[in-house]
Amino acid sequence: MRPHPCPALALAISGLCALAAAHADAPQHGRIPAADPWGIAPHVSSIVVEGRFGGRIFGFDIDADGIEGLLSEAVVHDDGTILAAVETFNTRTGEIIRVVEQVESDADDFITLGIIGGHIGLVEREHEVAFLDVRRTFPYLDPLAGNELNGRWTPPIDDDHLIRSISRNQDSRTIAVYAYDNSENFEPYVFSSNFANHMFGPRIVLTDDSFRTGLDPKLAYNARTNKALLGIQTIGNPFIPPTFALVDLATTATTIFAGVGEGDVNGLAIDPASNVACATTEIDFSVSFYDMQTLSGFSQPLPGATNQLFSGADVAVDTLHHLFLVAQPVSSTAPGTSSIHVYDAQGNLVESIDGFHFSNASNVVPMHIALHPSQRYGYVDGPDPGVTQIQGFTY
């Protein structure tokens, strides 16, 4: 059985793949107050959020219809012990509101999984009982603004499965969940979870060979159709289109189809109103758009991109304005920085926001864009290459 890496082990990993040049003019570390941090025009904000203890951040999200965010952090002390904490922060000022939970141990830690519709913040706690024996529980804050862990999510998984991702949709209290198979059977599955009635949909095993390699697919969910979309590199050849699975989480009907572009799916999101999905692919440094009714799509390189160095990463969706925000760790529109490119649901480039300093660094939780659509602001990893900060922006 292959062990699942935990944040405690990841904290010891050095050599993060951030480019030094991209951080030459990064803002000063710490929370930086500003008289008008958001302004009007699209730009990178001066607000940079750090955890209360200055540790590496293991997941964050913001309430898409509130003023609070949630993050987890961990600090390794000189004696090898770990301080791990869950904290809320004010998304308008960047200030930490409360340390919700804190623990010091040899290996325990927290991961912020995301915020769910209904203002619920979901966290994973990892408690090491013995070497390679990690017990995982899922406390949550309901509501997030209560600033306390007051409930526990109990997903229907066995000892062979690990929760690896939840869909980042806040338009519904139902989410899609992907569980990785940690045994030799390689039978990962996806299912729905409704936080309104604490019910779960059927566990649907992904039987296509592309999803049984041990790699984690990207996950998106349309609550209006109750269908999850998973995208992954086609097995054995990175230079051909990726493979997607569209799964009806009620009927279990699964459709496997070939995408457009080439290589790994680095980011994936669905706009529920238009039922359009947006993905980034690695090898061809492109962004693609799919009509989820016909499962047809088209692909185009990111603006100014000429090689794989400029590949896109996470994709976030603004469901109010029907926009997709695509992260690009190494910018092709502003050398020496990172960028976020904004597209409409028809695949038209709306704007490029340059001047970030985030990386797609090796971490337990991949880089993430979190949005507040009604106020048109968000947060993204960076600028510190050690993954200890997140930064605000407008769009």
For residue range 277-289, list pLDDT tens digits in order. 999 999 999 999 9
**pLDDT band at 15, cuts 50/70/90?**
very low
Euclidean distance between CA atoms 86 and 125, whole angstroms: 10
Per-range mean pLDDT, top range of 40-44, 264-268, 365-369: 264-268
Return the pLDDT at 235.
78
3-class SS of residue 61 = strand
Strands (E), 206-360: 218-222, 227-232, 243-248, 254-258, 265-271, 276-281, 286-291, 296-301, 315-318, 323-328, 338-344, 349-356
- Distant-in-sequence, close-in-space partners of 197: CB < 8 Å, separation ≥ 6: none
Euclidean distance between CA atoms 308 and 311, whole angstroms: 5
Give pLDDT tens digits for 364-387.
788 999 999 999 999 999 999 889
Whether residue 49 lies inside any domain: the answer is no
Euclidean distance between CA atoms 127 and 333, whole angstroms: 44
Adjacency order of strands within the sheet including 296-301:
265-271, 276-281, 286-291, 296-301
258: CATH: 2.130.10.10
Whether residue 330 lies inside any domain: the answer is yes
**Residue 245: beta bridge partners?**
230, 256
Whether residue 247 lies inside any domain: the answer is yes
Whether residue 375 lies inside any domain: the answer is no
**CA nearest neighbour of 194 among 153, 230, 227, 159:** 153
3-class SS of residue 374 = helix
3-class SS of residue 95 = coil
Eight-state DSSP code of residue 344? E
**Residue 50: beta bridge partners?**
389
> What pTM, to 2 d.p., does this model score?
0.89
Residue 33 has pLDDT above 50, yes or no: no
**CA nearest neighbour of 250 among 271, 272, 223:** 223
Average pLDDT over residues 46-60: 97
Check if the beta carbon of residue 343 is closer than 8 Å to that of residue 317.
Answer: no
Return the pLDDT at 272.
98
Whether residue 194 lies inside any domain: the answer is yes
Euclidean distance between CA atoms 330 and 334, whole angstroms: 9
Residue 9 has pLDDT above 90, yes or no: no
Residue 11 has pLDDT above 50, yes or no: no
Q: Which helix (H) or strand (E) holds 10?
A: helix 7-10
Structural domain total, the chain: 1
Whether residue 296 lies inside any domain: the answer is yes
Percent pLDDT > 90 in the chain is 81
Return the pLDDT at 36.
46
CB atoms within 10 A of CB 135: 10
The residue type at 339: S
Residue 14 has pLDDT above 60, yes or no: no
Average pLDDT over residues 300-308: 98
Check if the beta carbon of residue 311 is closer than 8 Å to that of residue 296.
Answer: no
HSE value, Cβ hemisphere, 13 Å, CA-based, for 76: 10
Whether residue 66 lies inside any domain: the answer is no
- Helix/strand/coil percentages in the chain, nearest 5: 5, 45, 50
Average pLDDT over residues 229-257: 94
Give pLDDT tens digits for 344-365.
999 999 999 999 999 777 677 8
Euclidean distance between CA atoms 366 and 119, whole angstroms: 22
**pLDDT band at 120, cuts 50/70/90?**
very high
> Ramachandran region of residue 25, left (φ > 0), alpha (ψ -120 to 50) or beta?
alpha
- Distant-in-sequence, close-in-space partners of 45: CB < 8 Å, separation ≥ 6: 34, 37, 38, 377, 391, 392, 393, 394
Return the pLDDT at 177.
98
Q: Which domain holds residue 204?
A: 157-354
- What mean pLDDT, rounded, does the chain reach? 89
Whether residue 229 lies inside any domain: the answer is yes
Which one has a higher pLDDT value, 162 or 41?
Answer: 162
Backbone angles phi, psi at 219, to 5 degrees: -130, 135
Residue 142 has pLDDT above 70, yes or no: yes
CB atoms within 10 A of CB 108: 21
